[in-house]
Amino acid sequence: IGGSDMYRQQILDHYKNPRNFGEIEDATFTHVGENPMCGDTIEMDVVLDDDEEVIERVAFRGDGCAISQASASMLSEQLTGMPVEDLEEMDRDDVIDMLGVDISPMRVKCAVLAEKVAQDGAEIYFGEKNVDKTTTEDDE
């Protein structure tokens, strides 16, 4: 991992002591994603507030390299309290900024795995909700 010592330490710390590692049983949505380069997966539970506008809690589990695990751990902290809109707008540069180290092109998929899981999960959740609404209207 390139970059400053401080950020390197932070990544190792998140890797060794991942925050929000585990499971939330009554999550609003759960999504699992795979890094196609290595087959490692991360599964994430997300709890939204009653208006479904703000992320209240996040938990993740799965295996992967230090970068993917640290990224998931750091992201889980960043997502807590974040408007869903902001999650939808996150991109890989935001993730790399969050990590604060140089990520080689080979490692970018590791770095963004958790962010993709959260984003895809939200997209599917809200997408399905729209589908459900349409179905309900059609049924009436």
CB of 7 to ligand FES, least distance (A): 12
In the complex, residue closest to ligand FES by CB: 110
Q: Please, which contacts does 129-137 make with residues 24 or more away whose CB atoms are closer than 8 Å?
A: none
Report the Cα–Cα distance between both ends of the chain, in Å, rounded: 57
In this complex, which beta carbon is closest to ligand FES, that of residue 47 or of residue 65?
65
CB of 21 to ligand FES, least distance (A): 15
**Selected binder of ligand FES within 29, 31, 40, 60 (CB under 6 A):** 40
| Cα–Cα dist 80/89, whole Å | 15
Contact flag: residue 48 with ligand FES (CB under 6 A) = no
Compute how many residues bind ligand FES; rule: CB under 6 A.
11
CA atoms lying within 13 Å on the CB side of residue 14: 25
User: What residues between 54 and 113 interact with ligand FES by CB under 6 A?
Assistant: 64-68, 110, 113
| Cα–Cα dist 23/124, whole Å | 19
Is-contact 70 99, C-beta < 8 A?
A: yes
In this complex, which beta carbon is closest to ligand FES, that of residue 54 or of residue 92?
92
User: Among residues 93, 49, 45, 50, which one has the least CA distance to residue 72?
Assistant: 45
CB of 137 to ligand FES, least distance (A): 41
CB of 75 to ligand FES, least distance (A): 14
Is-contact 29 125, C-beta < 8 A?
A: yes
CB of 46 to ligand FES, least distance (A): 20
Residues that bind ligand FES (CB under 6 A): 1, 35, 38, 40, 64-68, 110, 113
